Amino acid sequence: MEERETMLRPTVEKLGFTVPEAASVSSLGQTSIYKAIKEGRLRIRKFGTRTIITRADLVSFLETLPDVPERGGTPDGLAERPKP
């Protein structure tokens, strides 16, 4: 019965994330998230003792990460290793 109720409820996008959630949805590690916060590159909000990262702040942080220039050699942009 619970599965059916879950299917009927509308899906709501989260507006705020904990550090572990932000790490998970961004494909970054928690250490990287904490480092970005410490460096002032990722804005956080506090509610009592809870640390919250808004969806907009996380997206903004990810969009400011540098692009990696193509290195050529393979379809994924990684350089081929020279053969011995």
Q: Burial letters for 32-45: b for 16+ Cβ neighbours within 10 Å, e otherwise?
A: ebeebbeeeebebe
pLDDT in tens, 6-51: 667 677 889 999 999 999 999 999 999 999 999 999 999 999 999 9
Q: Which of 2-11, 14-23, 62-71, 72-81 has the highest mean pLDDT?
A: 14-23
User: Within 1-84, where are the H helices?
Assistant: 2-8, 19-26, 30-38, 55-63
- pLDDT above 90 for 53: yes
